[in-house]
Amino acid sequence: MYLQVAAQLRARIESGEWPPRRRLPSVVALEHEYGVARNTVLKAIKHLRDTGYVYTVSNWGTVVKAGADTITVVVMAPGSRAVVREATAQERERLDLAEGAHVLVVEKGGEVEVLPAETVEIRGPES
* pLDDT tens by residue, 28-74: 999 999 999 999 999 999 999 888 888 887 777 898 887 645 667 78
Question: Is the model more confident about 94 or about 67?
Answer: 94
Pair (80, 59) in one structural domain? no
Averaged pLDDT, 79-100: 87
Number of domains composing the chain: 2
Query: What per-residue confidence (pLDDT) applies to 6?
Result: 94
Query: What per-residue confidence (pLDDT) applies to 68?
Result: 47
**What share of the chain in percent tops pLDDT 90?**
40
Pair (54, 83) in one structural domain? no
Pair (6, 50) in one structural domain? yes
31/34 Cα distance (integer angstroms): 6
Averaged pLDDT, 83-94: 90
Question: Is the model more confident about 24 or about 52?
Answer: 24
Pair (118, 77) in one structural domain? yes
pLDDT over 50 (residue 1) = yes
Residue 83: CA atoms inside 13 Å, Cβ hemisphere, count? 6
Using an 8 Å Cβ cutoff, are 58 and 15 in contact?
no
The strand pairing partners of 108, in sequence order, are 111
Pair (6, 35) in one structural domain? yes
In the chain, the largest separation of any two C-alpha atoms, in whole Å, equals: 50
- Compute how many other C-beta atoms are within 10 angstroms of the C-beta atom of residue 87: 21
Query: Residue 46's domain spans which residues?
Result: 2-64
Query: What per-residue confidence (pLDDT) applies to 67?
Result: 62
